[in-house]
A and B are shown apart, each in its own frame.
Chain A
């Protein structure tokens, strides 16, 4: 019990510490691919520190929703962080939730952020909320379907159970269904983390922005909390992507300190690979028109569906 608690705490701290770094690394890589120098990879930490030092300006038109949103957003991310297996297959709260809960905790966070976007009364916030809810409506089934395929293969929707069954399955699990589900989930991950070609994380231009529109009225510590949460969300989604489909190297529940360290190292390496792929994707595409985004997500949904079909058609 105590050991599990310690491991869980370790995983959560790891997520909290590394999440901004991941954002920094992606930014840096993007800059390098675009032959720019780019900001320091630790810039996100400096930004968070800076926001915390500034006073918070809150619009007079807003209600309490605007003020509680950063708290609720960050706490839902923390709860997800306690459930998702990171460097060890097990975690203390693994029984608390499964992949459905994870997806719906993201929904909880999104619900409040979208409300906060509307709350200030500015058209930018409303635009951001409206677009975010529309895009997420199509992203949600595309997000769930590949996860369902994996859950059905494992016979459980528990994340630890899924990861373990993939680890136990060895190379045998690398079927068409597995790979297609991965591709489908990767496309959704692009949308969920607000990256090009779905959204542009670097701009505040009203015609292109989705996510940033909702944050526009935030400043000071509220902005710090939200930016931090957003990088945690990105970290968690990449973690899901990596650990569900390519968990090899992850430490088992009974592992000692040594295995834990190897698990951590392997995990970080995998994340860097994903970060690099993301940077390549972001550099090689242009931001798509808002109404082209559904086509992309629909494609991902179809790939996910083909994955599901092929799972049962090819392997009976």
Chain B
């Protein structure tokens, strides 16, 4: 029903604008402002949640022509299957985050202007949805810029803090560098095709010269890569995400990065059509490097939100591994294999939005309760905040790719895509790269598990490490509902991945002409058709059945409990102290986050280049020490070796250029004259 869909789109976008407006107007009455602002956001997300799947199921695009035009281009919202899928992703996460925000935003009452938060929050979701729905590059860039600016204002929401302003500055510089690349790519497309329209590009762009196509590909990789946070363009991410309020960080990490993935897929797979093989290889390598380095830097962080921000880098890497494999297969013409990678990438887009959103909300809840983001000052929170802890545990398991949660389902598909690179007839190099990258993905998964054992263990288990943690209380119910929704989705998408795979069918059909149905085996398991590789007859397809895995796990737990009840002599359990070699256990004796990650820091010292400084004060040198102060750090490799030299170069260059600005009016008149002459000669 196109009319109905059209109505939903209008409801979705207008209620966000209304929410923005009203929550600012009501800023004198903060409680009302919060209620109105986030209720409109919720309304919009519900509309989006109906709209996205409705379009996907109807398998038709939705076009809504607006009664305005700019530069002779009519403004039009156009929702093709790919856009509809991203609308769904954004709506799912924004809904939970908005519910969470009722409680979370109330912490700002009296400290900050919550009306402003409501204004930018609504505008932020609006800009993302509008950007996804844009039908031409002009609108896309416009909303892209709105999104960048609004998210900048959200990052510097707590602008009284110097660190926050600094993070905001780095963010806005990096994001505009990215925008510049995207704008150049779009202008090149316009110059060649004479159109702003995405739909028209797809039919014209196939005729572009391969060199130009490659140039555009590189430009969009750099441009969207900056926003998505690929290594080495990721440096803004671990600074900006922690600075923003947690509900905004959840949106930024969960869905704003995904708009870049959307843009990338739109241009690289839809507009540019079939490309060279090296495109896919480049994306695979970027993906692997981002995944491994992202998780490694995450392990070294003790600020929970910075830790999560680095995990965004990791997960963008995993998404790109899937998409890179799809690009390689597509360039060889094996669209049936490209399907595995593309589905894996898109599925991980949704999964990452769900579990990372959950984790950021959990971090927000913990910050709300303990007023700190430093995990070294937490501990024992599971007893004090049982629900938050439980949801955070589910998020941790999901992000570590552990079955039966959703991270496993999409990582499994990614593994299959990489293995398919190994089995298909692509030549020895590709065959070796595929499984080798699979090993990199395995390393990523194991390191992520280590990181979340650290994060969950230090935050939620054992004895509180500070008074704040000791006094922490469970957060308000709305916040728990927001997290609970996402935790439930982690389980549902993990156990029943075919729901998502089914929804993705029109998306993959529109991009590579193949539906996702071959990936489903009888609707209860995922099934990757085997590739007959080296002439060995294959009998068994690659398959996993998450519902069966869950059922088997639950059944085993029940059986073991029964067995224990029957055979263990003492049903009694004695509660006693932890054995601590005869002394009382205090929180200072516990393993800290720094000591937990120390073996990994030492094993990978070539990457981290850890430094350590110990200062001793003596009562009587050298026998009696009164104080020892130890300080450790890791070298920020990319800041030191890439950004600082670049910055130095630009400052030097700027210094040279100042010579032009001497202050003499005669010289300036001379410049004007020279320019005029030059223009007359060259631009007649």
Contact = CB atoms under 8 A, between A and B. Distances in A.
Contacts of B538: 154-156, 161, 165
A118 B595 contact: no
B600 A123 contact: no
B514 interface: no
Contacts, number: 311
A104 B415 CA distance: 12
B439 interface: yes
A7 to B, nearest CB: 16
B435 A138 contact: no
B574 A57 contact: yes
B151 to A, nearest CB: 33
Given A61-B462, A144-B439, A220-B570, A312 B432 contact: yes
Interface stretch (A17-25, A32-40, A94-102, A264-272): A94-102
A130 B569 contact: no
Given A61-B585, A220-B570, A134 B557 contact: no
Interface size class of A (residues with CB under 8 A): 35 or more
Contacts of A221: 564, 568, 570
Interface string A183-199: 00000000000000000
Contacts of A101: 403, 412, 544, 549
A152 B446 contact: no
B89 to A, nearest CB: 24
Given A114-B453, A143-B442, A130 B402 contact: no
Residue of A82, A93, A122, A224 most packed against chain B (CB within 10 A): A122
A221 B570 CA distance: 9
Contacts of A230: none
Interface stretch (B27-35, B163-171, B525-533, B614-622): B525-533
Interface stretch (A69-77, A234-242, A243-251, A279-287): A69-77
Contacts of B560: 71, 74-75, 78, 225
Contacts of B422: 148, 151-152
Contact of A111 (B449, B536, B580, B587): B449
Residue of A82, A105, A156, A312 most packed against chain B (CB within 10 A): A156
A301 B439 contact: yes
Contacts of A79: 549, 552-553, 556
Interface in A62-98: 62-65, 71-72, 74-76, 78-79, 82, 93-98
Contact of B590 (A121, A160, A168, A309): A121
Contact of B446 (A54, A136, A309): A136
B578 A59 contact: yes
Contacts of B416: 157
Contact of A315 (B402, B534, B589, B603): B534
Nearest to B397: A111
Contacts of B549: 79, 96-97, 101, 105
A273 interface: no
A118 B545 contact: no
Interface string B418-437: 01001100001001101110
A293 B401 CA distance: 25
A169 interface: yes
B419 A157 contact: yes
A256 to B, nearest CB: 20
Contacts of B403: 101, 104-105, 108
A312 to B, nearest CB: 4
B457 A114 contact: yes
A155 B553 CA distance: 28
B531 A121 contact: no
Interface string A250-270: 000000000000000000000
Given A121-B578, A308-B432, A155 B536 contact: yes
Interface string A278-316: 000000000000110010000001001100110011011
30 contacts: A52-B569, A53-B569, A55-B573, A55-B574, A57-B575, A63-B383, A65-B461, A75-B557, A76-B553, A95-B540, A96-B543, A96-B545, A96-B548, A97-B544, A100-B544, A101-B412, A105-B549, A110-B449, A121-B585, A123-B589, A141-B439, A141-B446, A142-B439, A145-B435, A151-B422, A165-B538, A168-B537, A217-B578, A290-B599, A308-B432
